[in-house]
A and B are shown apart, each in its own frame.
Chain A
């Protein structure tokens, strides 16, 4: 099952856990699994209009899923999905 790494701001929705074991074979399914396990968590990742929050990046292992297949990106058994807030540098 894929592991999901949560940013500090979302951990309160998952009982404080930094990493949770989730189910699902695509990014969309993993997010749906998270929503059923931790109601309210995935709501944080969407705007009121239902689109993805613009300050959220979802990575499958090393890659931003926007440049893979987005929500349809296949998630393997041993994969790690990371949810990270957008942060600037410079």
Chain B
């Protein structure tokens, strides 16, 4: 193993592990790419690094710059880590109903937290960040939901890594948050082989935090529409909070300690395995379970955990 010059050089090149022991169909393999292995602890390290390095290249960022971003957690944490190392000041608009560990990690990395009402959800935090960025033109707003560097990180990183490690892939299954992973890695994989199907898993947003007063407050990331997301995807599934927690627990049986959104993706992969005759599914484990210990996801009564999950944002 080489000696790395910077912790930021550890971003990407994550391992893939076979979790087919959880597959209900012996002819369908399920593989999991462990993005929690990134130094900031989640898949978002990739997009954060690409967005920051692109802004450095085009001259928008320089020492002492102030950044603003909205995040339900992981993107904020990833940006905060990189900003700490590179000497930038980060402000994160964060919904108040995320797990306590997300807030703690942002504090660890020195980010300034701007709280947004939990009832407005991620959409509300995003709208506030857009407004704040408009009021402060000197702040750098990378805007993960529309920044093409987010998808590029996966087109140049996640996708090629999967193809290198698993050219027999038939289905790529990942969560739809900003759509960066699906648009970037999904497009790369389809370009390598039209055989590869791209399936999205919709965030299991709790009813308490869908955050909308009317449907016009909904949001589809520009990254999704700009990359022809509707055409790129082959299927989109919703996974409910209870199933997400159940499969977060089942992942423990194969030694994978994952966050709750990864449980949702695993639940969708298991459904896919039941529907298909044969195949090799590659799924994304977005982060480790550390940030969710306070939710009691693994140890508390599942009804209580489910009720709690409906009131917090974990995507």
Is B57 an interface position by the 8 A CB rule?
no
On chain B, the number of residues with a Cβ less than 8 Å from chain A's Cβ atoms is 45
A-side contacts of B173, CB under 8 Å: none
Apart from A88-B126, A89-B313, 4 more pairs, CB < 8 Å: A54-B218, A86-B220, A87-B210, A90-B177
Please measure, in the bound complex, the distance between the C-alpha atom of A10 and the C-alpha atom of B217, giving whole angstroms: 13
A-side contacts of B188, CB under 8 Å: none
Contact B205 A90 (CB under 8 A): no
Which residue of B178, B214, B234, B238 contacts A90 across the interface (Cβ within 8 Å)? B178
Task: Indicate whether A9 sits within 8 Å of B213 (C-beta atoms), given known contacts A55-B218, A88-B122.
Answer: yes
Contact A7 B236 (CB under 8 A): no
Residue on A nearest B314 in the bound complex, by CB = A89
Contact A59 B178 (CB under 8 A): no
Contact B122 A90 (CB under 8 A): yes
- Greatest chain B CB density within 10 A among A54, A64, A82, A87 is at A87
Task: Indicate whether A55 sits within 8 Å of B315 (C-beta atoms), given known contacts A62-B239, A64-B237.
Answer: no
Residue on B nearest A9 in the bound complex, by CB = B212
Smallest distance from the beta carbon of A17 to chain B beta carbons, Å?
Answer: 13
Query: Restricting to B227-247, which residues have a CB under 8 Å from any CB of A?
Result: 230, 233-239
Is B72 an interface position by the 8 A CB rule?
yes
A-side contacts of B72, CB under 8 Å: 89-90
Mark each residue of chain B from 101 to 129: 1 if its CB lies under 8 Å from any CB of chain A, else 0: 00000000000000000000111001000
Query: Restricting to B186-209, which residues have a CB under 8 Å from any CB of A?
Result: 202-203, 205, 207
Question: Which residues does A use to contact B, with CB under 8 Å?
Answer: 7-10, 18, 44-45, 53-57, 59, 62-64, 66-67, 82, 84-90
Which residue of A63, A82, A87 contacts B123 across the interface (Cβ within 8 Å)? A87
Please measure, in the bound complex, the distance between the C-alpha atom of A44 and the C-alpha atom of B218, giving whole angstroms: 12
Please measure, in the bound complex, the distance between the C-alpha atom of A3 and the C-alpha atom of B129, giving whole angstroms: 38
Residue on A nearest B214 in the bound complex, by CB = A9
Smallest distance from the beta carbon of A59 to chain B beta carbons, Å?
Answer: 5
Which residue of B207, B215, B230, B315 contacts A89 across the interface (Cβ within 8 Å)? B315
Is B290 an interface position by the 8 A CB rule?
no
Contact B177 A85 (CB under 8 A): no
Contact B219 A86 (CB under 8 A): yes
Smallest distance from the beta carbon of B100 to chain A beta carbons, Å?
Answer: 18
Contact B122 A55 (CB under 8 A): no
